Structure 1
Amino acid sequence: MIDPLAEVVSLLRPQAPFSKLVVASAPWAVRRSETGRPFYFVALEGSCHLTIDGPGPSETITVHEGDFVLLPAARNFATSSLDRQPPREDEPVTTPIVPMPGGARIGDPDGKVDMRMLVGHCVLGSPDAELLVSLLPRWVHVRGERRLSTLVQLVGDESRADRPAREIVMSRLLEVLLIEAFRATASTAATPGLVRGLADPRLALALRRMHEAPASPWTVVELAKEASMSRSAFFDRFSRAVGVAPMAYLLGWRMALAKQWLRQRELSIAEIAERVGYSAVGPFGVAFARHVGMPPGRFARRANESMHVDV
């Protein structure tokens, strides 16, 4: 049976991360701006607030010792000690930050350490990362899962060591880490995305069928039958849980697969069109250009040129 979550994580191609140990003394607050990279941290000791900025209203969660948090596409967020309100987006943050070997010290350098956390980000190797990340929840918060803490520790150890096959080990650890995080939070995902959809037994049936047979001529009616639901109930439930309409999700997945095959240059455009549900190159080319911004042939050439430049 095809596992949609594993497929998405595999296509994301997570690569070697940056990680560091951060220790803090209350009161403290730190605001960060990222460029859409996945950001994670594990609370090794103590508790803190985490505020995740829009789109939409900011959301604040409390992170306790042993918790794991992942922001698949981090933009603006802030962390702060429990004795103060998280800083607003327009509020200047003046907490002292002092570098130390392997990390940083936040707050009074002579104060009592009441928070230790391992923080870091990983790089997604897929050029389609933005599309694929849009299928994931806005944030993942896992509590009481020591497996995740152990995995992150292994990632940190591997990133600082100079062992043979380091990059291969890192990529495998990161894939397991991401899947474990999503698996652990499937039933409690707070924001729409693939994880929440897979947690719904009926929606999961339709999602798996889309991934098992992307070339099938699916309609909302046929997908609703797979989920044993009426068309309208399925459409509404899918849209709320996953964050996009069923056919929009299917199109996004088909285009992600098409991009992957075009980059690999092992199949003709006609073969790729057939594999993603188009009976001819013409309609596929129109859909691909509308979705990606260029025809499939040009996309393949650019991907090939980029690969040679990277080499």
Structure 2
Amino acid sequence: MDVVSDAISAVRIGRPSSNRVRASGSWCTRLAPYDGAGFHIVLEGSCWLLPDGGAPVALGVGDAVLLPHGAGHVLADSAADAEAVARALPFDDWSGDGYPSSDPPPATADAARLHVLCGKYRLDHSRVHPLMAELPQVVHLPHRVGRHPELRAAIDLLGVELGGPRPGAGIAVPSLLDLLLVYMIRAWMSESTAGAWPAALGDPVVASALRALHADPAAPWTNDRLATEAGVSRPTLARRFTALVGRPPMAYLTWWRLTRAATLLRDTTDPLAAIAARIGYGTPYAFSHAFSREFGTTPGRYREGHQGDRARGPA
């Protein structure tokens, strides 16, 4: 696993969901804050996204927008004023002259001014990797010819799959939605000029150290061994790693081991001894002590409180 894959896997639970909506005329709908991440992709027409406490964002054909922290927001046909926003209908109650992809298109569908793909991911925000935490409230990815071809390909494939019943769609759609999340985060990383984690993964020394730690977190890592892996001296690694990641290498390793353990407790029935071995603790007692210090609860109680998270249905 690489850092981005691990960061997503650590928080993703349940299954993503999506549908296509058409709208025409004057409309305004509100999506409440959500314990996950939401996205919108404009397939036809244009609209405005008005995030709670944020600046309005104009969306055109091909634009994608990710709300990685589940911020509440309004979608509207125009940059609505405060009074109009206050009257916005909840999304679940809004017809908008629209229809979900499971229904046949109305006869006037060709006249619709907006055709948008909406969806959301269920995420566990209790233990977010700093890469995910660093994402802004709104990630706007304007359509630009030739930019992010893999993202555009995923959008096109999703549009086809959601256009009507197709054999295997129950597997294809969730898989494409997972790809879409990866591609949107990749696109943000490639365009971010201020984020610490794009800089960390772009630094050859720090990226090499992170890859090593994520590839084998159970290995008996030391600062010296990790510096050798990265091809630099220990002081150089410590300075660059701490500056870009925000904590020293061994502190990050401990944090990641226990975060990985939380994921295994949530998603598997593996005994504590097996989980301890997988993340680099010699005994279940040593693992339990470290986990309790970090999470404020025992591994067993944590597992009891998170059973079934992964098996939940669509978001």
SS in 1 for 2:36: coil
Structure 2 partner of 1:6: 5
User: What is the TM-score normalised by the length of structure 1?
Assistant: 0.70
SS in 2 for 1:102: coil
Asked whether 1:100 is paired with 2:98, we answer: yes
Cα 1:187/1:195, change in 2 over 3 Å: same
Structure 1 partner of 2:127: 131
Structure 2 partner of 1:232: 239
Structure 2 partner of 1:78: 74
Higher relative contact order (CA 8 A, sep 6+): 2
**1:151 Cα deviation after fit:** 2.3
Structure 2 partner of 1:23: 23
Residue of 65, 73, 77 corresponding to 2:61: 65
User: What is the TM-score normalised by the length of structure 2?
Assistant: 0.69
CA–CA separation in structure 1 for the residues paired with 2:18 and 2:237:
47
SS in 2 for 1:282: helix
Structure 2 partner of 1:213: 216
Alpha-carbon contact 1:288-1:294 (below 8 Å) kept: yes
Number of equivalenced pairs? 288
Alpha-carbon contact 2:131-2:197 (below 8 Å) kept: yes
Residue of 168, 177, 180 corresponding to 1:177: 180
CA–CA separation in structure 2 for the residues paired with 1:16 and 1:181:
15
CA–CA separation in structure 2 for the residues paired with 1:43 and 1:196:
30
Cα 1:48/1:40, change in 2 over 3 Å: same
Structure 1 partner of 2:105: none
Cα 1:265/1:114, change in 2 over 3 Å: closer
Deviations 1:10-66 (A, max 9, x none): 45256241322243557x654432322221111223444434446xxx355443321
SS in 1 for 2:117: strand
CA–CA separation in structure 2 for the residues paired with 1:196 and 1:129:
23
**1:285 Cα deviation after fit:** 0.8
Residue of 149, 152, 158 corresponding to 2:155: 152
SS in 2 for 1:45: strand
Structure 2 partner of 1:34: 33
CA–CA separation in structure 2 for the residues paired with 1:203 and 1:86:
46
SS in 1 for 2:131: coil
Gaps of 5+ in 2: 102-107
CA–CA separation in structure 1 for the residues paired with 2:198 and 2:128:
12
More strand by share: 1
Cα 1:191/1:130, change in 2 over 3 Å: farther
Cα 1:150/1:231, change in 2 over 3 Å: closer
Cα 1:183/1:294, change in 2 over 3 Å: same
Deviations 1:87-128 (A, max 9, x none): 59x96245896343228xxxxx9xx9654422222345xxx4
| Partner amino acid, structure 2, of 1:18 | S
CA–CA separation in structure 2 for the residues paired with 1:6 and 1:119:
23
Cα 1:230/1:265, change in 2 over 3 Å: closer
- RMSD across aligned positions (CA): 4.2
CA–CA separation in structure 2 for the residues paired with 1:222 and 1:25:
64
Structure 2 partner of 1:106: none
